[in-house]
A and B are shown apart, each in its own frame.
Chain A
Amino acid sequence: DAKTTQPNSMESNEEEPVHLPCNHSTISGTDYIHWYRQLPSQGPEYVIHGLTSNVNNRMASLAIAEDRKSSTLILHRATLRDAAVYYCILRDGDQAGTALIFGKGTTLSVSS
């Protein structure tokens, strides 16, 4: 699986937008970009995923660069509940199997 690079940590204030970057310069044409997050003392939870076009759901937006070598997870209005470790993961859409290869992720702190 291609690797991703994320900042170790980021800080935000409540009610402000948060942009979490992810670099994946060796991404292949069939790799989907997935984001999961892990709240304290919980298992990871799915946030969003996309292939080429920007994606929106009730939790967040995913902005994918035109060359697909980077992407940004956007939380439009951070809340205290969004404090978590965010993982950017590439998954080959043509490959069977569910294994998620987690990196160290970005620890997001949110202040009131």
Chain B
Amino acid sequence: KAGVTQTPRYLIKTRGQQVTLSCSPISGHRSVSWYQQTPGQGLQFLFEYFSETQRNKGNFPGRFSGRQFSNSRSEMNVSTLELGDSALYLCASSLVPQGTDTQYFGPGTRLTVL
């Protein structure tokens, strides 16, 4: 079974631009979560989607948004990019959004904002 895939793997943008990252969960998984990883803040939860609905959101500004499609694929968008948005963005999928469910992470998208 294929793992979680994220595209693109690397991205370079300039301040003020917007970016869209894509995540394809493991087949059959219906829950997708996004995380941001930076050297200073570590791994931080962004948001979680299940059945095309955002179920939970972390403490990030409204510039960060996401959506989930009927096939469970998810995208996240960051508008008006800032230098501090440079990070590794990780997507994780699980069967259902339960506290005991295992999350499977993708390799991440490395975003650099210049």
Interface positions of A (Cβ within 8 A of B) = 32, 36, 42-46, 49, 87, 91-105
Contact = CB atoms under 8 A, between A and B. Distances in A.
B48 A99 contact: yes
B100 A93 contact: yes
Question: How extensive is the interface on chain B, given as a class?
Answer: 20 to 34
A37 to B, nearest CB: 11
A99 B33 contact: yes
Nearest to A94: B99
Interface of A is mostly: loop
Contacts of A32: 99-100
B43 A102 contact: yes
Nearest to B100: A93
Nearest to B105: A43
B87 interface: no
A49 to B, nearest CB: 7
B70 interface: no
A98 B42 contact: no
